[in-house]
Amino acid sequence: MRIAVINETSAADKNKDIVAALEGRGHDIINAGMKKTGAQPELTYIHTGLLAAMLLNLKRVDLVVGGCGTGQGFLNSVMQYPGVCCGLIQNPLDAWLFGQINGGNCISLALNFGYGWAGDINLKFIFDRLFSLEQFGLGYPPHRQESQQQSIRMLNEVSKATHRDFAEISAVLADPVIKPVLSYPGVAELLDIDAVKDSRIKKSLLSRK
Amino acid sequence: MRIAVINETSAADKNKDIVAALEGRGHDIINAGMKKTGAQPELTYIHTGLLAAMLLNLKRVDLVVGGCGTGQGFLNSVMQYPGVCCGLIQNPLDAWLFGQINGGNCISLALNFGYGWAGDINLKFIFDRLFSLEQFGLGYPPHRQESQQQSIRMLNEVSKATHRDFAEISAVLADPVIKPVLSYPGVAELLDIDAVKDSRIKKSLLSRK
Amino acid sequence: MRIAVINETSAADKNKDIVAALEGRGHDIINAGMKKTGAQPELTYIHTGLLAAMLLNLKRVDLVVGGCGTGQGFLNSVMQYPGVCCGLIQNPLDAWLFGQINGGNCISLALNFGYGWAGDINLKFIFDRLFSLEQFGLGYPPHRQESQQQSIRMLNEVSKATHRDFAEISAVLADPVIKPVLSYPGVAELLDIDAVKDSRIKKSLLSRK
Amino acid sequence: MRIAVINETSAADKNKDIVAALEGRGHDIINAGMKKTGAQPELTYIHTGLLAAMLLNLKRVDLVVGGCGTGQGFLNSVMQYPGVCCGLIQNPLDAWLFGQINGGNCISLALNFGYGWAGDINLKFIFDRLFSLEQFGLGYPPHRQESQQQSIRMLNEVSKATHRDFAEISAVLADPVIKPVLSYPGVAELLDIDAVKDSRIKKSLLSRK
């Protein structure tokens, strides 16, 4: 799996813990956001939410691991975009249930709130459970599986119905939202806009550089 | 404050606990969703998310208290819509931090996961903290307040940029998503479509009845 | 390892979840307490604490898994006796840290409080972590290991200094505390008093039957 | 109420948060342990557990607020002594349930594990709930009250039956356990051994100075 780790500024000091917890699992890890709290250029959850959504919508990654101080800000930011299903994950059982029931493509971590001794080990335990699932979105408990799988499919349809498409979104986002993302070190290479197949999205993104 | 409580089927048996925990605070409580797990007609989180978003976007309520088994489903459902900021709330400190930092208009409760002895009392404690805030969205900790308040404003702008407007959304949502909501007992009175001032939304909603 | 599972009445309906979570690990599981809430004869945490302490002090088992509604009652009960180190364990990280830092011989589970959906799976995750430790009581974090290992040794010494020995305790405990334990189905076989080598303890226990 | 705050070394930097969270409630707060991690002389949970037990058994305080990195070490240490009922408290509902069900005289806080953003505010919320109880040890839920109150009374009796009395304990504890406590700055004044009425305890403590 191709996984992007994307940290905003307030909890960027925990970035190394996330990367360490993801390593050695055979996944391709892309450390796309901040690595140190307060470093320049700075990304808030407004920016990391957009970057996460871009990487998912352009199919540059399969899963995004983001977060912020409490996890709620990044969650609300990334959920503004189409094609995202994000869980707030604080412990191994959260991870297991979210993977099992919701089968999403994004997780938001609480990286300051509740993050003390062995917070790094908790991250390892979280990813152990998330990646131990045989199938994402199978459902739980068993008697609710069919209904839950149907809900996942409906949620995908709703997401398309309620959002503008990514070409439109890329065109209308305000400069202070999109410019810091497109100019962030490494993002151009990661997005690889020239290789974007959808000509409308490509044109739209190129116009914002 | 006008508050809607909206339960989906899997955790509807906890509806009475939520209502009890909200009572006696001087708020106007509207119990708009299911009251009993498995009752007919049944609403899933797909439906309660839409109902919540409708009530918020039509300004019928100021706050929605929703949830589901883990809280993640309702959260992902209601976040598909514009003008919603939703927190996953499991304990009093979550509530306080979400109100303080994110200042949202919707909370999603975990109503089966982690809900055991004194789950009802935990809800009381959660609302005690949420409603004790002098100001929603003030920010925390102090040195992050200005940045966080700016993020709230930007999130509002992003929400408008990325979503279709509510008239369009009401027009394009699939029947299995919108029909069960519009026909749910009590919803017509609550939405009061005839009184909707925005003529496009009004027309759109009337066309789906 | 030889492990006793000991439930008191208020959470005895979770007994089957504990046993299931412990199975298949190569340990010898002894289900010594209640199996059903409210069944007769009934054991409270006063009794399960004593039974746990007896099994540990007579070296009939290596580890006791107990608990009650919140876990605090059993914890306080079993900790009245010498030779017991008990952790209150609610999630996998608790288990890991307790095993790593305290290296105890007893855990107390919260079996009604916070016990909802997937509570049984949480138990599996807890035991996965507890039994994955290479060494109990190694210490964490690394720079605190030596100090923590010394504390464990001192705690053992304190336990001997502050408690009466088990022969005296067995002699002086009030009837309503010890009689329901000694007469509980299966306990006589498990304690196997005739085989107790310490003649004072043997004599003391025989006098209470 | 007279409350002692007693910190050991690993989490002593949180001492100021505890004291701040207890202030302004009309209680008499005695800050008896360490104030800074790693300061000299250093107390481990072995020492703070004994100090807590001494203050409770000599009736110098009504309640002890202690803790350590995870809370489990202090808990196991203080529980070695007679007359102590201690809860591991991590959130407001823990505090409420422990006060309501167990009605103890000591609480152990997790001060490194899970202690991140707003950890200080969590402490305030914890004490708000603990001190809002009309009566300690009333029981919860209602149908379990009588049984739980009886368990509290039996636990007191068990504690006397299983422990040596405090005079004996004071006499036999190893030097590395008791000496650092008796010589810790402020402890002599607090214990006020000359004023101890029980002549055996007085004599025993004087012999260890």
Mean pLDDT of D36-53: 97
Chain C residues in contact with B119 by the CB 8 A cut-off are: 116
Which of C118, C125, C129 is facing A140, going by the closest CB pair? C118
Contacting chains of B (3 CB pairs or more, <8 Å) are A, C, D
pLDDT in tens, chain C (209 residues): 999 999 999 999 999 999 999 999 999 999 999 999 999 999 999 999 999 999 999 999 999 999 999 999 999 999 999 999 999 999 999 999 999 999 999 999 999 999 999 999 999 999 999 999 989 999 999 999 999 999 999 999 999 999 999 999 999 999 999 999 999 999 999 999 999 999 999 999 999 98
D49 Cβ partners below 8 Å, 6+ apart?
C158, D66, D74, D76, D77, D78, D79, D80, D81
Contacting chains of C (3 CB pairs or more, <8 Å) are A, B, D
| Total domains in the fold of chain B | 1
Q: What is the pLDDT of residue D169?
A: 98
Q: What is the pLDDT of residue C209?
A: 84
Q: What is the pLDDT of residue C208?
A: 94
CB D113, CB D69: distance < 8 Å:
yes
Contacting chains of A (3 CB pairs or more, <8 Å) are B, C, D
Is B133 an 8 Å CB contact of chain D?
no
Q: How many Cβ atoms sit within 10 Å of the Cβ of residue A81?
A: 25
Chain B residues in contact with C14 by the CB 8 A cut-off are: none
Is A195 an 8 Å CB contact of chain B?
no
Distance in Å, alpha carbon of B122 to nearest chain D alpha carbon: 6
C83: closest chain D residue by CA: D80
Pick from D91, D133, D147: nearest CA to C69: D147
Rounded-to-integer distance, Cα C153 and Cα A32, Å: 47
DSSP state, A33? Answer: S
B77:A46 CB<8 A: no
Distance in Å, alpha carbon of C74 to nearest chain A alpha carbon: 24
Q: What is the pLDDT of residue B40?
A: 97
A164:B159 CB<8 A: no
Q: Which domain holds residue B85?
A: 2-206
Chain C residues in contact with B110 by the CB 8 A cut-off are: 116
Q: What is the pLDDT of residue C161?
A: 98
Question: How many residue pairs from chains B and C have C-beta atoms closer than 8 A?
Answer: 28
Percent of chain C with pLDDT over 90: 99
A116:D117 CB<8 A: no
D118:B93 CB<8 A: yes
A163:B162 CB<8 A: yes
Chain B residues in contact with A174 by the CB 8 A cut-off are: 154, 157-158, 161
Beta A106-110 vs A86-89: how paired, if at all? parallel
Q: What is the pLDDT of residue B209?
A: 84
Is D115 an 8 Å CB contact of chain A?
yes
Residue where the block lists tokens 């119990």 = B31
∠A189-A194-A199 over CA atoms, to 5°?
135
Complex ipTM over 0.95 = yes
CB C67, CB C119: distance < 8 Å:
no
Distance in Å, alpha carbon of D147 to nearest chain B alpha carbon: 17
Is D71 an 8 Å CB contact of chain B?
no
CB B58, CB B188: distance < 8 Å:
no
Beta-bridged to residue B163, according to DSSP, are: A163
Which of A76, A93, A169 is facing B85, going by the closest CB pair? A76
C116:B118 CB<8 A: no
Residue D145's pLDDT band, with cuts at 50, 70 and 90, is very high
- Which CATH number covers residue C57? 3.40.1400.10
Rounded-to-integer distance, Cα B71 and Cα B90, Å: 9
Q: What is the pLDDT of residue A209?
A: 84
Strand order, beta sheet including C63-68 = C28-31, C2-5, C63-68, C106-110, C86-89
| pLDDT > 90? residue D209 | no
Cα torsion A54, A58, A60, A61: sign: positive
A125:C97 CB<8 A: no
| pLDDT > 90? residue D81 | yes
Rounded-to-integer distance, Cα D22 and Cα D14, Å: 13
Distance in Å, alpha carbon of D144 to nearest chain A alpha carbon: 30
Strand, helix or coil for residue C65: strand
Q: What is the pLDDT of residues B132-157, one digit of tens each?
A: 998 999 999 999 999 999 999 999 99
Pick from B122, B134, B66, B135: nearest CA to B93: B122
Mean pLDDT of B24-37: 98
Is C37 an 8 Å CB contact of chain B?
no
Distance in Å, alpha carbon of C31 to nearest chain D alpha carbon: 23
D158:C173 CB<8 A: yes
Q: What is the pLDDT of residue A136?
A: 94
pLDDT in tens, chain A (209 residues): 999 999 999 999 999 999 999 999 999 999 999 999 999 999 999 999 999 999 999 999 999 999 999 999 999 999 999 999 999 999 999 999 999 999 999 999 999 999 999 999 999 999 999 999 989 999 999 999 999 999 999 999 999 999 999 999 999 999 999 999 999 999 999 999 999 999 999 999 999 98
A93:C141 CB<8 A: no
Q: What is the pLDDT of residues B182-206, one digit of tens each?
A: 999 999 999 999 999 999 999 999 9
Chain B residues in contact with A45 by the CB 8 A cut-off are: 151
Chain C residues in contact with A125 by the CB 8 A cut-off are: 92-93, 96, 125, 129
Q: What is the pLDDT of residue B44?
A: 97
Residue where the block lists tokens 């699939």 = B174
Is C73 an 8 Å CB contact of chain B?
no
Q: What is the pLDDT of residues C39-52, one digit of tens each?
A: 999 999 999 999 99
Rounded-to-integer distance, Cα D159 and Cα C78, Å: 10
Is C116 an 8 Å CB contact of chain A?
no
Distance in Å, alpha carbon of C12 to nearest chain B alpha carbon: 14
